[in-house]
């Protein structure tokens, strides 16, 4: 009983001390205000404002701290948006009378009327944008693995490149994550394994609606999607390595290679990795010539509506242009060759 009374006295003392300290602070501020501004009106306003703050502020912080875990828990990674009407999007996003706005509205109307595409999905416009748009289409359409990825264990490709004398692969960057040294092989192996498993899983789902729903769920998990994008990046690097070796041996290579390897910044795989690929996901996205490489790597015909090129021969471009007949086709659209969205041909 004595202990209980002692605890009550202590709690009472603490409360009184807090109230006393707040009262002292309040009195000091009022006294200082009166000395600086000897005007009853100003002092009265200050007293009202401060009394309101002293009473309400502690409770505001308590409410904020209680709600904070709920905000974190409810926060979702929305990287692929829902289906939206393509004309409605164009009229909202490109309202106005500028030449650019009118041109892009006409391009969207062309897609709607001539290509019979009524809806689209918006893609998060970060530096993984192109990879996200392409991979979402691959998974949602249930496209099978490329033949070359079926014929070998892709999780061993990083070590294979290293064994061919390419020790520079240890300088591979995972988006904003810098040089990882020997750890690069284990990290890449996990990324490649995740991409392969998910690709095969989606190919095995025959129901289109179920496939799309699961695809949206997967792309809401940021860590997983970033790992898959890094796997795609590495497979593009491996393709560059193979194409460069073929070029040195006098083999036939796709037409875009003449431009790709002619760049001062990518005459060989190492230069491509250091000057271009390591920036993808961090400070830059894929350039147009690298879209050709993306299609070549995954044996896809990436038909792209380049809306700002509406009315020219470049309005609809295929990456790559010399794709093979058995390659699957996917559709994407862009307003600037940097940010890509997904046109929906069917639900």
Place of tokens 């040195």: 248
Could you say which of 166, 203, 282, 339 is catalytic? 339
In the residue annotation, 310 being an active-site residue is answered as no
Give the number of other CB atoms < 10 A from CB of residue 128.
25
As a whole number of angstroms, the distance between CA 123 and CA 225 comes to 13
In the residue annotation, 126 being an active-site residue is answered as yes
Three-state SS at 334: strand
Phi, psi of 81 (to 5 degrees): -80, 170
Nearest to 219, CA basis, from 228, 210, 208:
228
Could you say which of 20, 116, 126, 249 is catalytic? 126
Cα dihedral 327/318/152/267 (nearest 10) = 150
As a whole number of angstroms, the distance between CA 331 and CA 4 comes to 74
Residues in the chain: 347
In the residue annotation, 323 being an active-site residue is answered as no
Could you say which of 119, 129, 296, 323 is catalytic? 129
As a whole number of angstroms, the distance between CA 204 and CA 211 comes to 9
As a whole number of angstroms, the distance between CA 244 and CA 246 comes to 5
Residues annotated as part of the active site:
126, 129, 339
């Amino acid at each position: 009983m004595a202990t209980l009374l002692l605890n009550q006295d202590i709690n009472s003392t603490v409360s009184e001390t807090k109230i006393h300290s707040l009262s002292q602070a309040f009195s000091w501020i009022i006294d200082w205000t009166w000395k600086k501004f000897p005007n009853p009106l100003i002092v009265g306003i200050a007293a009202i404002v401060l009394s309101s703050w002293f009473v309400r502020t502690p409770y505001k912080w308590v409410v904020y701290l209680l709600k904070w875990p709920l905000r974190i828990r409810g926060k979702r990674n929305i990287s692929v948006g829902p289906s939206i009407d393509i004309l409605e999007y164009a009229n909202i996003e490109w309202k106005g009378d500028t030449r650019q706005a009118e041109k892009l509205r006409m391009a969207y109307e062309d897609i709607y009327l001539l290509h019979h595409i009524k809806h689209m999905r918006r893609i998060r416009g970060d530096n993984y944008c192109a990879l996200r748009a392409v991979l979402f289409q691959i998974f949602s359409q249930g496209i099978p693995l490329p033949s070359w990825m079926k014929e070998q264990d892709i999780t061993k490709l990083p070590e294979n490149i290293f064994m061919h004398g390419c020790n520079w692969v240890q300088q591979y960057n995972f988006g904003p994550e810098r040089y990882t040294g020997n750890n690069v092989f284990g990290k890449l192996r996990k990324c490649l394994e995740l991409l392969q498993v998910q690709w095969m899983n989606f190919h095995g789902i025959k129901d289109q609606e179920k496939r799309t729903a699961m695809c949206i769920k997967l792309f809401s998990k940021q860590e997983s999607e970033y790992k898959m994008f890094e796997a795609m990046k590495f497979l593009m690097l491996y393709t560059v390595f193979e194409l460069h070796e073929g070029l040195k041996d006098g083999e036939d290579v796709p037409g875009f290679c003449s431009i790709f390897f002619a760049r001062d910044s990518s005459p060989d795989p190492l230069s491509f990795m250091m000057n271009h690929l390591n920036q993808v996901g961090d400070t830059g996205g894929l350039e147009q010539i690298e879209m050709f490489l993306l299609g070549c790597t995954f044996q896809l015909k990436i038909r792209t509506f380049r809306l700002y090129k509406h009315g020219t021969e470049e309005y609809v471009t295929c990456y790559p242009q010399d794709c093979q007949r058995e390659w699957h086709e996917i559709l994407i659209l862009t307003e600037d060759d940097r940010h890509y969205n997904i046109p929906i041909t069917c639900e």
